Amino acid sequence: MEKIKLYIVEDDIIIANDLKQRITGSGYEVLGIDGKGEKAIESIDTLAANDNQPDVILMDITLSGKMDGIETAKILSDKYHCGIIFLTSINETAAFDKIFSLKPYAYILKPVDIDQLKMSIELSNYQHRLELSHEKATVDLQNEMEQRKKAEKEIEMRLQEKIKAEHKVNQLQRQKHQMELDLINRELATSSIFISQKNKIIGLIRKDVTRYLRKGKNITKNDFVKILKTIDENVKFENDWYRIKAHFEKIHPGFFDRLRVKYPQLTPNDHKLCALLRMNLSTKEISQILKITAPSTEISRIRLRKKLVLPKNVNLVHFICLV
């Protein structure tokens, strides 16, 4: 067990040395002796700087310096929270009241009884250790509370970030769903244009055939020529392009304007091909609409890719859909 370390502040050098001898003989360690309060504070400051401050200070009330023992004790107890045992030959109530306000560990009258002093030192040291332990526990508890608050704040921040991220994901999913719905609606509208066009052609042909049947005579070659002429007139793409284009621009507003601005090198025929690709039509369907062969349609697609300077790994239809 470590020795209890003491410091003696006593202006009577004989009494101070006697106390030191008797205390040392009882197994305690005396770190120093001073007769003035100012010098005692300076000496204990030096000891504390070297992590060797006393556990208990024996403090005489009457000192030879400018400060008395009460003033010196107040400064030291505020700075180091050390245990103070007052030594005095004065038995006055006024002095005791001043000392009491400092909450001393003991108050011993001179001449000092060594056994009483030893008991006071032990009790003072025990109380001093308790206070240090309590102070350390308080600091540790405060640090733990601060760490918990910090951890809780970090958890709350991460939770808020997670909520924001989930909200963003949900928002993007809703946007994606809406875009998919819009795409489906546009494709349905586009399909409706061509279904309507086919129905119109079929209706005209049916009307001509019905008219010839009602005449009650055989259909001649000239009649077939007229029916074929009706078909050719109605399936000719150029005749219906402007109407189809008007419907297309309602579904895909600004599409042709963006093409002209971004790719001024494209021709009107390229614009028509881009529109049909944007409708997600197959090569066969595009060939039938443009009244050209499938190989010619493929060649037109290849030329369009070159004009758009598309790498081989980029899908043409997907690229057109992003315009």
Residues 84 and 77: beta-carbon distance below 8 Å: yes
pTM flag (> 0.85): no
Q: With 70 as the cut, is the pLDDT of residue 205 above it?
A: yes
Q: 300 pLDDT band (50/70/90 cuts)?
A: very high
At 267 the pLDDT is 92
Residues 125 and 55: beta-carbon distance below 8 Å: yes
- The position carrying tokens 């290849």 is 302
DSSP bridge pairs for 85: 58, 106
Name the percent of the chain lying above pLDDT 90.
Answer: 16
At 238 the pLDDT is 55
Q: With 90 as the cut, is the pLDDT of residue 299 above it?
A: yes
In a 3-state reduction of DSSP, which class is residue 107?
strand
Q: pLDDT of 95-144, one tens digit each?
A: 565 665 566 667 777 888 888 888 888 887 787 778 777 778 888 888 88
- Using only C-alpha atoms, the chain has a radius of gyration, in whole angstroms, of 53
Least confident residue range of 15-24, 200-209, 268-277, 308-317: 200-209
Domains of the chain: 5-112 (3.40.50.2300), 240-323 (1.10.10)
